[in-house]
Amino acid sequence: MMNQPIAIEFKNVTKTYNLYQSDAKRMLSMVFHFIKPRKKLANDDLSFIVNQGEAVAVLGRNGAGKSTLLKLITGVAFPTDGEIIVNGRVSALLELTAGFEPECTGRENIYLKASLMGLTKKQAILLEQTIINFAELDEYIDQPVRTYSSGMKARLGFAINVNIKPDILVIDEALSVGDIKFQEKCRLKINEIKEKHHVTVLLVTHSLDSARKFCERGIVLDEGKLVYSGPIKKAITRYKAIA
């Protein structure tokens, strides 16, 4: 692993949120500087490396800082201090149903999401049928997304994200999509892109079974701090000790 290219690196990364009692006080604080927010330390001086092609589970109790870590990797949030290096295109399976245009069809949303992820129209055309087949939406693909059930939207979201050939795949409790058969299909797809295309996988989960199946290494967070980084079996043992 030592000679592998780095996919993700955190260098002494800290993320602090400013919390206000209301939106009104947030606005007033811009004028009246005596109105001070409450500080929430979400990530505290995190330093770690994820190498290209690794599958790493991020474990921790609710409020440990896992979601903030993902937001920092995907660029949704920015660190208060420290440096983050991300090499490659990131595909994030966070909120699978987010980002769809409800009045557009499923097919049109494929092109919209592909464009947002940096793909050209030619690349999207080549992936279109693969995504449709994976999502198993059949004739519904040309219906407005507002008519889809939450499960249909989740399947489409998953199909888009895993088929765009990302360099880094970030997954946040997204392996419970659809029925048991479709869940297994999702798991097999993730294993395929990990093993055949050397995609880096970062899995945030409370399912220790999923962590064992997908990941060879684990990172354990507790109250925003990194308390363990190493082999997945030892990471699970460390997580159980604090859970």
In this structure, what CATH number is given to the domain that contains residue 208? 3.40.50.300
Distance CA 81, CA 13 (A): 6
Buried/exposed 146-165: b ≥16 CB within 10 Å, e otherwise: eebeeebbbbbbbbbbbbbe
Say if residue 127 is in the same domain as residue 151: yes
Say if residue 10 is in the same domain as residue 108: no
Say if residue 218 is in the same domain as residue 186: yes
Nearest to 40 by CA among 18, 21, 20, 13: 18
Say if residue 82 is in the same domain as residue 179: yes
pLDDT at 1 over 50: no
Say if residue 145 is in the same domain as residue 190: no
Query: Which residues span the domain enclosing 221?
Result: 6-88+167-242
Note the pLDDT of residue 178: 58
Say if residue 118 is in the same domain as residue 141: yes
End residue of a domain, out of 164, 181, 201: 164
Q: Quick: pLDDT tens for 201-234.
A: 998 888 888 888 889 999 999 999 999 999 999 9
Q: Could you tell me which residues come within 8 angstroms of residue 92 by beta carbon, excluding any fewer than 6 positions away?
A: 70, 74, 161, 169, 170, 172
Q: Quick: pLDDT tens for 144-194.
A: 999 998 788 888 988 888 888 789 988 876 555 556 777 788 878 888 888
Q: How confident is the model at residue 80 (pLDDT cuts 50, 70, 90)?
A: very high
Q: Quick: pLDDT tens for 100-143.
A: 899 999 999 999 988 888 889 999 999 999 999 999 988 899 99
Is 94 domain-assigned?
no
